[in-house]
Amino acid sequence: MDNDAVRTSADRTLVDMWIDGKSRTVSVTRTAIETHLRLAPDRAAAMSDEDRREFVRGNLKLVQSAATDFVRAGNPDALRVDIERLSGNAPPPPSDRRQGDRRKGGDRRKAKLGPPPSGERRRGSRDQRGS
């Protein structure tokens, strides 16, 4: 997909795609993306245009499915499809999983073993290969 195929305009993210044999402009609202991601109000307000474009790029299959359902259920001749709500499984909201220090039980370093043994570890010499 071209870099400019997914673009934003005001509170909508637009992408052109083929649906049922026609090129259509699919418009996904900001609210649809925020609701699908289950974002908290502060995170939703911080979502940039680039974040919304990346969401659409990363979820083209979901967007295409919603647009195809819209076209087949409504107007099959529509050249513009407005998606107000995305269905499907949304990832759980991001959270910090670490509850504390992950290392428990003290120092994990091994006892001093001294320098590694010197010398070649391979058996035989290079001249013996392939002769």
**pLDDT tens per residue across all 131 residues of the chain:** 445 589 999 999 999 999 999 999 999 999 999 999 999 989 999 999 999 999 999 999 999 999 999 999 988 999 999 999 987 665 555 555 556 655 565 666 666 666 666 766 666 555 555 55
What domain range includes position 70? 6-83
Whether residue 59 is contained in a domain is answered as: yes
pTM over 0.75: no
DSSP 4: T
pLDDT of residue 74: 85
- Cβ atoms of residues 52 and 33 within 8 Å: yes
pLDDT of residue 110: 63
pLDDT of residue 75: 84
| Burial (CB count within 10 angstroms: exposed 0-12, middle 13-18, buried 19+), residue 94 | exposed
Number of structural domains in the chain: 1
Sign of the alpha-carbon dihedral angle for 53, 57, 63, 67: positive
